[in-house]
Amino acid sequence: MPYKEKEIEKRYYTIGEVADDLGVATSLIRFWETEFDIISPKKNRKGNRQFTQDDIKKIKLIYHLVKVKGYTLHGARDFIKNDVNAAMDRIDMIESLKNIKSFLMKLRDDLQRN
């Protein structure tokens, strides 16, 4: 059985990495940090934000509610306040479906080439 390397996962991500991943400006993430108390990244000695995977999931939830679903900031806050666990589960499901779609599209492309 061939050895398969395990992908190394970072513990902390910079605000720039998070912004690039979502395709938004870093200023928007800083703004959401002030508007939503569920976002609270650690800061290093220099004061730079260090986002964990959990922080990123929460930011993706806010992104989905505000940018995709069209919620107002107040509406998104209420939605999160009422049932943050259900909202986080919904984001996990969306991410899983996106990964499956990406895998299937790659598989289709590979099959068409052969």
**Domains in the chain, please, with CATH?**
15-113 (1.10.1660.10)
Does the pLDDT at position 98 exceed 70?
Answer: yes
Q: Please state, in angstroms and rounded to a whole number, the distance separating the CA atoms of residues 98 and 94.
A: 6
CA distances to 8, 63, 103 from 34, rounded to whole Å, are 31, 14, 36
Q: What is the pLDDT of residues 44-58, one digit of tens each?
A: 999 999 999 999 989
Does the pLDDT at position 67 exceed 80?
Answer: yes
